[in-house]
Amino acid sequence: MGEDTLRCRIQYINDLDPFVSTNNREPLKPLVYSLALHRPIGDQIPDIIRQLRAPHKSGDAALQVSPSASGDLGSYLDSDLTLYEQPDELQILQADP
């Protein structure tokens, strides 16, 4: 892990239309991605969407912390803040192998 980035696994759940019963809502295979610690999350979302080939638009997407140890979904990252400015979420991500 570099000082200015955090490598983590990313994936998306296709929840564009939660009312369609045929919608596959299972997560796709995760990719390894380097999040910039000092760049707002919202500025990084368009690149994440491209990397995942997700059907979402950047204004319709958010990042949610999901520590693999618990399997539970955690809090959403504030897209206006950097990861460094969200120390609780950063700590969870750094502790996840």
Per-residue pLDDT tens for 46-61?
Answer: 999 999 888 888 888 8
**CATH number assigned to the domain with residue range 5-95, chosen from the 4 options 3.15.10, 3.10.20, 3.40.50, 3.30.420:** 3.10.20
Beta bridge partners of 5: 36
CA-closest candidate to residue 25, choices 59, 55, 63:
55
pLDDT of residue 46: 95
Entry pTM: 0.77
Please answer whether residues 29 and 4 qualify as being in contact, where contact means their C-beta atoms are separated by less than 8 angstroms: no
Rounded distance, CA 28 to CA 7, Å? 18
Confidence of residue 42 (pLDDT cuts 50, 70, 90): very high
pLDDT of residue 19: 63
Element (H, E) at 96: none
pLDDT of residue 48: 93
Element (H, E) at 34: strand 31-36
